Amino acid sequence: SASGAVIVLTRTGEGKKGFSLFMLEKGLPGFSVGGRAKTMAHRHVDVTELNFDTVVLSDAELIGGVPGDGLQQMLDAIETGRIAMGATAVGLARSALKSAIDYAAARQSFGQAIGQHQAIQGLLADMGAKTLAARTLVQEAAAVKARGGRADMVAGMAKLFAGEVCAEVALNCVRIHGGSGYVSDFPAERYYREAPYFVLVEGSNEIQKTIIARRLLAGDGQAIGL
């Protein structure tokens, strides 16, 4: 609702070459934008409805100037978006991990920092290892994309794994904070609200698993060293 224009993928022909991308500006006859939805977190993200009522498009709105390139353009953007989403998820996981480490070092229980307790150490170790693994996978996906290679599978892996790690690390951050993790005086509760976003957007994690499995079954295992 805040943007002056939106990009829409629409069918303009038959088959895979029958899709085109158009940029629609507000004020185009028949096109309108609904009200902004309230979300539990990531309130900088504009979630709204797009309404179309007999919208007539022309070459002036066509992106790229060539009809039929829309699907490939969109898939390329989705790959980049999934890598970026994985990177953002890693960023949140790192913040949650740092918050958990700081709290575990400062909070005293039975005369010592709770970080000295084996149960807390186990959580922190898992959080650290998985956050680093997610970061490494995202960097690999970005490198493949930058080289111009096919990145749909590795981008899906990066988004899938980083999103799941982010959700797990955010939950464990709340656990380490205990009751303090449930109140807004500490950042743990915000991390916990924000983490599910990365499991859902840019294609759900269930969709990522389908994409990954199909590419592996098609013989693309060399992308991961098979």
Task: Cite the active site residues.
Answer: 202
Where are the extended beta strands (E) located within the chain? 5-11, 19-25, 31-33, 50-52, 108-109, 112-113
State how far the Cα of 22 lies from the Cα of 67, in Å rounded to an integer: 10
Assigned token pair, 72: 């490939």
State how far the Cα of 36 lies from the Cα of 75, in Å rounded to an integer: 26
Name the residue type at position 43.
R
State how far the Cα of 203 lies from the Cα of 187, in Å rounded to an integer: 27
